[in-house]
Structure 1
Amino acid sequence: MATRKLSGKDLRKLGFPEGRAIGEAIKAMDEHYKGKSILHKKAMLKKVVENPGLYLKHEAWGPVAMALIIKTEHNETLALREKRIPYHIYGADGIEQGAINQMEIAMKLPVTKYGALMPDAHQGYGLPIGGVLATENAVIPYGVGVDIGCRMCMTMYDIPLAFVHQNTDELKDMLMENTKFGQAVFKRPKDHEVLDRGLFNEINILKSLKDTAWKQIGSSGGGNHFVEFGITEIHSEINEFNLPVGKYLSVLSHSGSRGLGANIARHYTKLAMDMTKLPGEAKHLAWLDLDTEAGQEYWQAMNLAGDYASACHHQIHDRLAAALGEQPLALIENHHNFAWKERDADGNEIIVHRKGATPAGEGVLGIIPGSMTSPGFIVKGKGNVDSINSASHGAGRVLSRTKAKQTLSKKEVKKHIKKAGVTLIGSGLDEAPQVYKNIHEVMAKQTDLIDVLGTFEPKVVRMCGDERFGEVD
């Protein structure tokens, strides 16, 4: 005999407040307590509503407990500072006003300590792309971004450069066979130790994402993500790898944490916005206190997503190394869309969010890409305190995706790509080279932040989209 379902009215009589907690409780009963008696359900619900803190890690009642705590403890809207904290802008003349407005708001948060805006900056959600924000004991999910741990990864090979020009079709085939983009995944994904992490069984949101992470590992996202063959020229010996000056066939990839990172970002952004009420203009900058369980959960999940993104890149490069029949001389990688625990000049711990910004601490290696027809750069950080040890993560957009599709001509874009000597697989008008700032101008505005050790010239590029060679949709 089927048991009667408890209603919102029943839950309110047990002491549940109006709002999300009731919906979470009904969902928990439907998923975990079917067939249980009304008395059993009521007894369980009464325990949870009276002591939610005891059930935060419970598989069924964790979301209910969190909703109850948020409702009772975080219901007031916090005021922003009247005056923003001063911050440095690099290349202000090339940055749209919308990005600067977002940074101005971020610098008024009560938890903000320092900030900086990189020369590739453009408007995003919450913190602008190219924004660097240091906070005190607080992490902002939208300050990290949706594609958690998105990164650049380069491998270099001791292969004659003529191979690139003489074997273009073969290189295209290698990219087609060994890379996947967007919704496409490998039929037989490769295993990786990151998928064995205990966090997948310890944090509720991660339990539901492990299958997706397994299916997507080794693949790349859509949008501006790419894998490409090209030629790296080292101008200054990279001592870390004993890599001498010269030219090398290279593979460069750009991608992030796929569905794993996106779902972590959505879940904890919503949680942060529930827990930290901010005025409307700042609502996407809601933070999680690192002294709370929610803050610690996000921090662990964010780091897992970053490690997963790295694993995806390593598998991409392993597949292509096998296709080339060579082992790389060196691998360089760096990431953005992340938060780091660092120290300020006074030795105090700060949480540094780099949303579309590259770590550039003293001696730190990184890669700053241009577009599919302009060079990328291998760089070494100078450790500039004013930039919070950061640099740009790329050229930065000058056209939104919508504007690009409205204003660019497929014919002209294809002509531009051909003239640059680049072979393109996939992509669309929203990722045409013309949507990006001039990378040389961007690099010129951050000479105080990084030294350039080498350049990368793209030759065969694959991005998400139509798989016919050289098509631009």
Structure 2
Amino acid sequence: MAKATNKLHSKDLRQLGFTDEATISLALDILDQRQFRKLDKGSAQALLQEIQTDPHKFVRDEDWRPLAQKLVPQPSRDVKLNLEIKDYRRYGDAFIEDGARKQMDTAMQLPITIDGALMPDAHQGYGLPIGGVLAADNAVIPYGVGMDIGCRMCLSVFDLPPRYLDQRTQELRKLLLNNTRFGGKEVFKNPTDDPVLERPEFKEIAVVRGKREAAINQMGSSGSGNHFVEWGVVEISAEDNELNLPVGQYLGLLSHSGSRGLGAAIAQHYTKVAMNKCPLPPEARYLAWLDMNSQEGQEYWRAMNLAGDYASACHHDIHRRLSKALGENALAQVENHHNFAWKETLSDGREAIVHRKGATPAGEGVLGVIPGSMTAPGFIVRGRGERDSLQSASHGAGRRMSRGQAMKTLKEGEVHRYLRDHGIELIGGGLDEAPMAYKDIHQVMAHQRDLVDVLGSFTPKIVRMDAGKSGKSRYGGE
């Protein structure tokens, strides 16, 4: 029997929050089944984290049912949901899956809920759906923010023509290999020192204090799963743009990643605190909240903002390294984040905590990048401040297949051909991140014309993602 090339071990599962040895053994046995042996280590960790976080989602899955049934908790039902589901706006309702709608419906029954919206890239997650926006009354929901706190996009535009990508493909590929790090173990030998690492939160908040060393080591690195750094073509199409760039085409660098182990530790810790303080019915358990007037609520808020700033520092380090290696300064840069909560004033004058889990801030005049997939363009956008969407837009194309579905359905050969036909040079990556696993970004954008104005586009050409333990791409390359 062939062994999995990127096999997880018990210690890996303990790091994800698994504690029971029998459960750990069961999870490893399932991963050793034939259909999961080609799953790279980062994707396997992401899948198990998802199951551990929301086992209810997997109780009907033929492969994962035994594990999910062991993980389903039975909390007391001290906090009641409202019987009425508050009305909320859904964008692109026709192709939003039922699971995401049901999760959002549940969120709209919370006693703390003021308003909400569901973006056109929405799909089922845990707690709030991915693409969910929720305004809460003086309360913050750790899983309404999500595990990867402050996950963001960062785009740099260089004064080089698109033909540079064809003329210097191997050189640009090598720059990505030399100047980016991915996954749980890849770090720089001499990580960049950054002022964010000297923040007082690292001394004053216990869960953060324990992650400072890891945060130092992971500075400038990117996560696994759907995180990437890629070269591509930027096309500025709007003459009136805040980037002060003439209409035309440029070389671009786009990165997508978040707060690494620091954000995950904060999310896990404060979700457990919230669930203990605010036990909810099973369908709502991961929407447990912390009162902003409580010590725990204030601690989480400070830790969340630290994680967001750390994620930003990581992106700036990535772009500094690659700009220096390229020998060019960026003409312009756009950065935006999701998986975060903001204190905002709503249209009726009320102050609220607005959670955007996989949703892009789109206040009037606010710039952002909404990526597509490896073979589809992303878009540089300017927010229109739409009240019904709580000044939000999608954060990408959104998944149309879960990771498990993609692994079961897609074949390496067909994905390889698809990428080759679209002229994509991929370093790393897995079947779970294949372009076919994502929705049509053009369809998503069509459903949010009222939310953003398009200033330009970014089309990927050379992409690097986590390659798992082997360090090799499933589709060729290193």
Structure 2-normalised TM-score?
Answer: 0.82
Farther-moved stretch of structure 1 (203-212 vs 106-115): 203-212
**What's the CA shift string for 1:302-346, capped at 9, x where partnerless?**
000000000000000000000100100011010000000000112
Separation in 1 of the partners of 2:363 and 2:276?
A: 34
TM-fit CA distance, 1:467: 3.9
1:277 deviates by 1.4
Answer whether contact 2:77 2:281 (CA < 8 A) is retained.
Answer: no
Segments of 5+ residues of structure 1 without an aligned counterpart are 1-73
* Of 204, 207, 215, the match for 1:205: 207
* 8 Å Cα contact 1:410/1:472 also seen in 2: no
| Contact 1:189–1:217 (Cα < 8 Å) also in 2 | yes
Q: Whole-Å Cα distance in 1 between the matches of residues 230 and 128 of structure 2? A: 29
Contact map agreement 1:427 1:472 (CA 8 A) in 2: no
Output the amino acid matched with 2:235. E
Query: In structure 1, what is the Cα distance between the partners aligned to 2:216 and 2:261?
Result: 10
Distance across 2 between alignment mates of 1:241 and 1:460:
24
Q: Is the 8 A contact 2:379 2:458 kept in 1?
A: yes
TM-fit CA distance, 1:206? 1.0
Residues of 2 paired with 1:281 and 1:291: CA distance? 26
**Could you say which residue in structure 2 is the equivalent of 1:399?**
401
Q: Whole-Å Cα distance in 2 between the matches of residues 294 and 410 of structure 1? A: 46
How much does 1:159 deviate? 1.2
**Structure 1 residue 432 corresponds to structure 2 residue 452:** no
Task: Provide Cα deviations, 1:280-306, integer angstroms capped at 9, x if missing partner.
Answer: 111100000000000000000000000
Aligned to 2:165: 164
C-alpha distance in 1, partners of 2:149/2:240? 28
Please give the secondary structure, in 2, of the residue aligned with 1:387.
coil
Aligned residue number for residue 267 of structure 1: 269
Asked if 1 retains the 8 angstrom alpha-carbon contact of 2:76 and 2:280, the reply is no
TM-fit CA distance, 1:471: 2.2
Count of aligned pairs between the two proteins: 400
Paired position in structure 2 for 1:330? 332
5 Å-filtered alignment, 1:264-413, equals 264-413=266-415
Report the CA distance between 1:469 and its aligned residue. 5.7
Give the letter for the 2:232 counterpart. Answer: G
The answer to whether the 8 A contact 2:345-2:352 is kept is yes
Given that 1:424 and 1:470 are in contact with CA atoms closer than 8 Å, whether structure 2 keeps it comes out as no
- Looking at structure 2, the residues matched to 469 and 85 of structure 1 have their Cα atoms a distance apart, in angstroms, of 46
Q: Which residue of 2 aligns with 1:127?
A: 128
Counterpart amino acid of residue 441 in structure 1:
Q
How far off is 1:76 after superposition? 6.9
Distance across 2 between alignment mates of 1:284 and 1:408: 31
| Distance in 2 between residues matched to 1:238 and 1:250, nearest whole Å | 19
Give me the whole-angstrom Cα distance separating, in 2, the residues matched to 1:109 and 1:76. Answer: 13
Q: Counterpart in 1 of 2:115?
A: 114
Equivalent pair of 2:362/2:451 in contact (CA under 8 Å)? yes
1:178 corresponding residue in structure 2: 179
Structure 1 residue aligned with 2:98:
97
Matches of 2:148 and 2:110, distance apart in 1: 23
Change beyond 3 A, Cα 1:225–1:294: same
Within-5 A mapping of 1:176-255 = 176-183=177-184, 184-237=186-239, 239-255=241-257
Q: Using the alignment, how far apart are the partners of 1:203 and 1:75 within structure 2? A: 29
SS in 1 for 2:293: coil
Alignment partner of 1:471 is 2:472: no
- Tell me the secondary structure at the aligned position of residue 396 of structure 1: coil
Distance apart, 1:244 and its partner CA: 1.5
The one-letter code sitting in structure 2 at the alignment partner of 1:117 is L
- Structure 2 counterpart of 1:136: 137
For the residue of structure 1 that corresponds to 2:436, the secondary structure is: helix
**Residues 429 and 473 in structure 2, CA contact (< 8 A), matched pair in contact too:** no
In 1, distance between residues paired with 2:281 and 2:473? 48
Structure 1 match to 2:53: none
Deviation digits for residues 338-364 of structure 1 (CA, Å, limit 9, x no counterpart): 000000112211110000000001111
Work out the CA distance in 2 between the residues paired with 1:274 and 1:244.
Answer: 54
Amino acid at match of 1:179: T
Amino acid at match of 1:352: V
Which range moved further: 372-381 or 461-470? 461-470
- Deviation of 1:161 (Å): 2.1
Q: What secondary structure does 1:233 align onto?
A: strand
CA contact (8 A) 2:274 2:288 kept: yes
Q: What's the CA shift string for 1:422-446, capped at 9, x where partnerless?
A: 1000000000000000100010011
Tell me the C-alpha RMSD between the 2 structures: 1.4
TM-fit CA distance, 1:75: 8.3
Q: Residues 400 and 469 of structure 1: is their aligned pair in 2 closer, same or farther, counting only changes over 3 Å?
A: closer
**2:244 and 2:412 mapped to 1: Cα distance?**
44
Contact 2:362–2:393, Cα closer than 8 Å, also in 1: yes
**Counterpart in the other structure of 1:79:** 80
Equivalent position SS for 2:464: strand
Q: CA deviation at 1:470?
A: 6.8
Tell me the CA shift for residue 199 of structure 1: 0.8
Residue 472 of structure 1 deviates from its aligned partner by 6.5
Q: What's the secondary structure of 1:361's corresponding residue?
A: coil
Query: Within 2, Cα distance between the matches of 1:112 and 1:199?
Result: 29
Larger mean Cα displacement after TM superposition, 305-314 or 230-239: 230-239
Kindly provide the amino acid, as one letter, of the partner of residue 263 in structure 1: A
- Report if the CA contact (8 A) 2:385-2:391 is conserved: yes
Q: How far apart, CA to CA, are the structure 1 residues paired with 2:319 and 2:331?
A: 12
CA distance 1:238–1:428, shift in 2 (3 Å): farther
Distance 2:243 2:449 in 1: 24
What's the offset of the Cα at 1:241?
Answer: 3.1
Give the aligned partner of residue 14 of structure 1. none
**Where does the alignment leave 5 or more consecutive residues of structure 2 unmatched?**
1-74
Deviations 1:343-390 (A, max 9, x none): 011221111000000000111100000001100000011111000000
Give the 3-state SS of the residue equivalent to 1:347 in structure 2.
coil
Letter in 2 for 1:116: A
CA contact 1:115–1:134 (8 Å) conserved in 2: yes
**What SS does the corresponding residue of 1:385 show, helix, strand or coil?**
coil
Q: Is the 8 A contact 2:90 2:120 kept in 1?
A: yes
Q: Which amino acid aligns with 2:316?
A: H
1:296, 1:204 → 2: CA distance?
Answer: 13
Q: Which residue of 1 aligns with 2:462?
A: 460
